[in-house]
Amino acid sequence: MDVSGSLRFDDGFSGSAPSSTVRIFLVDDSPITRMGIHAIVRSAQGLEIVGTAHDGTVSPDDIQKLTPDVMVVNSLSLSKEQLDRVPHLSDHSSRVLPRILLIVGERENPAVRRARAGAHGTVQIRARPDEFVAAINLVAAGYSIAVPEPGPPDSGEVAAPLARSSHWNTIKLLTQRELDVLRAVAQGCTNAEIARRMTVSESTVKSHVQNLLAKLGLPNRASAVALAYEMGMLTGR
């Protein structure tokens, strides 16, 4: 899937969409943001933080022992030296390491720009919790997402919105209930959670999911999450 370079599936990714819990290793030197991320993960279905490092000195072998699916790295809390030492952002060996989601801000230094090149996705520090959860799930499922690199200070540059998908006309065929289910799926909700939220049975939710996937010509839930992200269903575009 190609979405104007902002969201794509990595052809070289050999895994598949996670079937259960997405295991997260967090690299963040800020106690406040660590607490916030832990709170977001605890409130989300299917996410779990299995390890935390305060800087980039943790070894790849130690990370591997925890078998994380995604490593979330807060580039804003790390010094340039710490960021350059984060495993996998600069490690191009053949060893299997988790996929990387890099938290970025409005301004970037050379170390952050280097880190972008080694990351599988980026998300703004000002993203809402549901956007953050969607970004983790997308990266874990093999997609790459990226917020545009900021321009020079005071350049007046404004990031262009994501291009509308070829599914834009097709999505109009979805019923309001199917749209609600699609949005809930994109937020990381399970069928059971959606059923409770909509006060219907799980089998009804499953039927809605199957119907919307068929209408949109999508193969699985991960693709539905990607489409919802692209269409701005999680950002209010």
- In this predicted structure, the answer to whether residue 31 has a pLDDT above a threshold of 80 is yes
- In this predicted structure, the answer to whether residue 155 has a pLDDT above a threshold of 80 is no
Kindly state whether residue 175 falls inside one of the protein's structural domains: yes
The reported pLDDT for the residue numbered 209 is: 92
- In this predicted structure, the answer to whether residue 175 has a pLDDT above a threshold of 60 is yes
Sheet with 22-27, edge to edge strand ranges:
2-3, 7-9, 143-145, 121-124, 99-104, 70-74, 22-27, 47-53
The reported pLDDT for the residue numbered 118 is: 81
Stretch 9-16: mean pLDDT: 42
Pair (98, 138) in one structural domain = yes
Stretch 55-76: mean pLDDT: 86
Kindly state whether residue 156 falls inside one of the protein's structural domains: no
Query: What are residue 22's DSSP bridge partners?
Result: 47
**Closest CA relative to residue 136, chosen from 65, 45, 64:** 45
Q: What tokens were used for 144? A: 């790459």
- In this predicted structure, the answer to whether residue 165 has a pLDDT above a threshold of 70 is no
**Tell me, what CATH number does 104's domain have?**
3.40.50.2300
Number of domains in the chain: 2
* Residue 190 lies in domain: 170-230
Q: Mark out the alpha helices in 48-201 (DSSP H runs).
A: 60-65, 80-84, 110-118, 129-140, 176-186, 191-198
Pair (137, 180) in one structural domain = no
Stretch 218-233: mean pLDDT: 76
Q: What is the DSSP letter of 166?
A: T
Kindly state whether residue 153 falls inside one of the protein's structural domains: no
**Tell me, what CATH number does 191's domain have?**
1.10.10.10
- In this predicted structure, the answer to whether residue 72 has a pLDDT above a threshold of 90 is yes
Report pLDDT digits (tens) over 82-130.
Answer: 887 776 665 545 455 788 999 998 887 888 888 887 888 889 888 888 8
- In this predicted structure, the answer to whether residue 11 has a pLDDT above a threshold of 70 is no
Pair (135, 58) in one structural domain = yes
- In this predicted structure, the answer to whether residue 159 has a pLDDT above a threshold of 80 is no
